[in-house]
Structure 1
Amino acid sequence: MTMAMDDLATGPNPANRADPIDILLAQAQSRVAELIPVRHARMSATPFTFYRGAAAVMSADLAATAHSGVMTQLCGDAHLSNFGVFNTPERRMIFDLNDFDETAPGPFEWDVKRLAASFVVAGRQNGFGEKATRKHAREVAKSYRKWIAASVQQSTMDCWYARIDTQEMITEIGSMLDTSREERAVRGLRKAQHRNSVRSVSKLCTIGDDGTVRFRSDPPLLVPVSEIFNGPHADVLADRVDQRLRDYRSMLPDHIRALFDQFAMVDVARKVVGVGSVGTRCWVVLFHGARNDDPLFLQVKEAQRSVLDDFIPTQQYPNQGQRVVEGQRLLQAASDLFLGWTSGLDENGEKRDFYVRQLRDGKGSVVIEALTEEEMKLYARLCGRTLAQAHARTGSRLDIADYLAGAKAFPDAIADFSLAYADLNERDHATMLDAIRSGRIETRDLV
């Protein structure tokens, strides 16, 4: 359904929506059964954690409303916690989108709406009033519109290479903050710069008396493969992981393959990550280079169908991991050196698709709960700009800019939608709590 600008603020009809719990239970069917209660526990903590895990719910809601008809490559889950800093292959730290599990083509405003509504949901959790949260949602849309318009004035190549360097970010917003806040931001960036494979050893591994490094056991969040399976089953899984990595190696460019070949696999563990991703198969693999103190951690994460697939035409990639990787390379200003995809059989012998990336490479994110109203406003501007630059890289910027030209009502319409959707999200969260109390869904307390 194509919409006029006046319809942009319209949300789904609550009377005609699918049951959000039915949607979550349907997702659980293809996931690791023992981890589903962990996912439900994480989602049920607050309305914001529910929102983070409910991309499938919101996709169904967006698909039930009119849309612009202006298509671009979407992140698919562009909430404010899916932005952050990381190191580029050139060892420059930039700020960008950092989660692409749901990437697929779709109407451009779906990403804008998910991002703007996340600021309202998170702002309410921080204790901000309606005036402040509306302002934050409006800043997202206002910034997005501004930077889409700016991208049209750039050459195609300048638009492709545009990125937000963290030093530039500090220079731009540091003057708007008091000294203590600027110092806190700088400390956070320095902390992220040191999040690498060497630091991950102390966090994720144990070191034996003989210097042997292995993953520590912290079930169900981190479980060495030797504890999940034993005997012949462990050998079968080890062979499958090895084959998965050989397939991954075969798709790497020659120069990256030459680098990858300098590392040898040491250990494998299953790791629980995020909120919405909990229950998908995620393996972390420890390698070492020429020396035992030369580690590399790769994450081999299952890629299932995008939550957008049921609602819009999508690219038919033979591997869902390839869908994630190609979407990431298109939207992200600079991508992980080891980004790739593979497939393999799971513990039940069923084919699963995966994408591969480094587990940590200077990655860091904003602590949303610590932001003041003013800091949240600045962060909204930054995320709106970042999303605009991501969409502009796809070549859709002319169509999006034409649609938004003269549309002064765009920020207000997005803000109105965001407030209404945050109300809906709170009701969905309450529905989940009712489902837990009634025994309809199970949770697992990890405390």
Structure 2
Amino acid sequence: MRVKMSRAPVPSEETPPRSLDRDLLPEHVLAAEPLAEEGAAERLILEPLADVSHINLRKRQPSWEARHSAGESRREVTPHHLHGAWKAPDERPDPVHLIEQTHIGRQAWLVPLRVARMARSPFAFLRGAASVMAWDLARTPCSGIRVVIDGDAHISNFGLFGSPQHDIVLDLNDFDEVTVGPWEWDLKRLVASIEVAAREFEASSHLRRQAVMAAVGGYQRKMIDLAPQGSLDVWRYSARVDQADLCGLEPDAESRNLLLRSAEKARKNNNQNLLARSGDRRLQDGWRFKEEPPILTHIDAETRDAVIAGLERYAETLPRERRFMLSRYHVVDVAHRVVGIGSVGTRTYIALLCGNSDQDALFLQVKEAVKPAHSPYVSGMPKVYQEHEGERVIYGQRLLQAAGDPLLGWTTISDRPFYVRQMRNMKGEIPIGSMTESSFIYFSRLYGALLARAHARTGDAAAIAGYSGGDDDSELANALADWASAYADQSEADHQAFRAAIQAGRLKAEEDLDL
């Protein structure tokens, strides 16, 4: 940050829906669950829209006012102040062990790179340690109101990308951990990441708390705004950067300039520029990827054929009109590409396709999908979407994103689930290191509001608004600011334990890592 920040066991389908797996959780969490015997008010809260196999258009839904009141009554079961406490339980497992478990099934030769990336800083560790935080969140008090959660809504998983109409929008942009769970788990991961990231840039404790409370306030305010709105209005809203405000929040001059600069940079992340950077034009063979080991490497002929066959099956998951469009392209080259921090070690390929000419390029990312971090603790998505992890990711993205990639789909390659999306597609980020104090607070508030909008598409906005209160109600914001500070301390301790495991030889990191 530019130094205006001072440097210094899943339930069966027949059982009543639960927020959490009861057998895994302590009593104070179970006390926060909505139980059927609690009365009619609880039954007014709508279950998250995860699957509707049959629509009943004759049944009238409870009014939003009634559901708001039902959500407000949840505060009596789980008061806001309970969300502020964090102390590691005595039975908390070794965080290094939890991370080692996530390495099972990954490509072993890339695991040291993942370890090295996670070891760089507490924030990098937090990004890669979704499984650790999932265990911890499952032991915290629960509002009892569920939505389709992103599952990994940290501050760096909000970003810029192009809509089907080529507008630049700002939204959640990573859905590997998507599932059904308590809405506050996403908000807690967001505020913890804000606190940890700000510490990395040596922001003052006052600024860190302001930013966290801004994120909670943005969430509360947007949910209050959305509660009485029609579902169609909620679903079609997207945060375009060319709007005077985003999610009802008008940026200050510094934030607007940073947003526009980042959007202009994102607009250049298109197929033609990617072709120029990553492609090597060969006179006889056409385009081929430039190798950049270990990040971008060629694959053997057998794997290449398997990926192309997987893309042909992927096409069957697209709507017919988009399948027709894709049929105008053919695969020119396929390579393996390392992405992210938490995803390092999963099988991820990038395919270059050409259409009308060898300048008509289309890049598709083919990424392995693994079980979400929260899966041991929640009933999750409907069973049909648990059978193929790639379909779960794509279905969750379509539910949560207002302006999605038109080429989202899924496939199976060598008996492993994958999902497919466009590569780049005008993708960009709002770099934390370029933010001033005022813009850090603005974007924290904006990300909270965007998270609320995503949750309102699948959950009961009225009930959540009733429970969370408005942004003039600071009890929840103060509680989550306490939580974020305490959990940041936990993340820093876990990060030190992780680095100690590397020094002791328990974990292998890339040799050039400075420990």
Task: Give the corresponding residue for 1:70.
Answer: 145
C-alpha deviations, 1:339-365, integer Å up to 9, x for none? 0001121xxxxx210100001111111
Find out whether 1:97 has 2:203 as its counterpart: no
Task: Give the corresponding residue for 2:413.
Answer: 344
| Residue 403 of structure 1: how far off its partner (Å) | 1.3
C-alpha deviations, 1:125-152, integer Å up to 9, x for none? 1110111111111111111011001001
Task: Give the corresponding residue for 2:252.
Answer: 176
Which SS does the other structure have where 1:299 is aligned?
strand
Alignment equivalent of 2:391, drawn from 312, 322, 326: 322
| Residue 439 of structure 1: how far off its partner (Å) | 0.4
Alignment equivalent of 2:488, drawn from 422, 430, 439: 422
Relative to structure 1, the CA distance from residue 204 to residue 434 in structure 2 (aligned partners, 3 Å threshold; closer, same or farther) is same
Task: Give the corresponding residue for 1:249.
Answer: 315
Task: Give the corresponding residue for 1:197.
Answer: 271
| Residue 209 of structure 1: how far off its partner (Å) | 4.3
Alignment equivalent of 1:332, drawn from 393, 396, 401: 401
C-alpha deviations, 1:245-294, integer Å up to 9, x for none? 12101121110001100110011111000010101110000000110011
| Residue 402 of structure 1: how far off its partner (Å) | 2.0
Alignment equivalent of 2:348, drawn from 282, 290, 296: 282
Alignment equivalent of 2:374, drawn from 294, 308, 311: 308
TM-score scaled to structure 2, two decimals? Answer: 0.81
Q: Which moved more, 1:71-80 or 1:204-213?
A: 204-213
- State how 1:185-264 maps to structure 2 within 5 Å: 185-210=259-284, 212-225=286-299, 229=300, 234=301, 236-264=302-330
Task: Give the corresponding residue for 2:213.
Answer: 138
Give aligned-pair identity as a percent.
37
Aligned residue identity for 1:257:
R
Aligned residue identity for 1:352:
R
Decide which structure has greater helix share.
Answer: 1
Contact residue 195 and residue 361 of structure 1 kept, 8 A: yes
Relative to structure 1, the CA distance from residue 437 to residue 359 in structure 2 (aligned partners, 3 Å threshold; closer, same or farther) is same
Aligned residue identity for 1:282:
T
Relative to structure 1, the CA distance from residue 355 to residue 175 in structure 2 (aligned partners, 3 Å threshold; closer, same or farther) is closer
Q: Which moved more, 1:425-434 or 1:184-193?
A: 184-193
Q: Which runs of 4+ in 1 moved over 4 A?
A: 169-175
Task: Give the corresponding residue for 2:464.
Answer: 400
Task: Give the corresponding residue for 1:153.
Answer: 228
Find out whether 1:55 has 2:55 as its counterpart: no
Which SS does the other structure have where 1:296 is aligned?
strand
Matched positions, count: 432
Ranges in structure 1 where 5+ consecutive residues have no aligned partner: 346-350
Contact residue 77 and residue 111 of structure 1 kept, 8 A: yes
| Residue 205 of structure 1: how far off its partner (Å) | 2.0
Contact residue 72 and residue 396 of structure 1 kept, 8 A: yes
Q: Which moved more, 1:52-61 or 1:368-377?
A: 368-377
C-alpha deviations, 1:33-79, integer Å up to 9, x for none? 00000000001001111111111110110012221111000000000
Contact residue 93 and residue 165 of structure 1 kept, 8 A: yes
Task: Give the corresponding residue for 2:424.
Answer: 360
Which SS does the other structure have where 1:154 is aligned?
coil
Question: In 2, Cα distance between the equivalents of 1:416 and 1:304?
Answer: 32
Question: In 2, Cα distance between the equivalents of 1:188 and 1:210?
Answer: 38
| Residue 368 of structure 1: how far off its partner (Å) | 1.2
Calculate the aligned-residue CA RMSD, in Å.
Answer: 1.7
Contact residue 281 and residue 288 of structure 2 kept, 8 A: yes
Relative to structure 1, the CA distance from residue 363 to residue 59 in structure 2 (aligned partners, 3 Å threshold; closer, same or farther) is same
| Residue 202 of structure 1: how far off its partner (Å) | 2.2
Which SS does the other structure have where 2:424 is aligned?
coil
| Residue 436 of structure 1: how far off its partner (Å) | 0.7
Alignment equivalent of 1:38, drawn from 113, 134, 139: 113
Relative to structure 1, the CA distance from residue 11 to residue 169 in structure 2 (aligned partners, 3 Å threshold; closer, same or farther) is farther
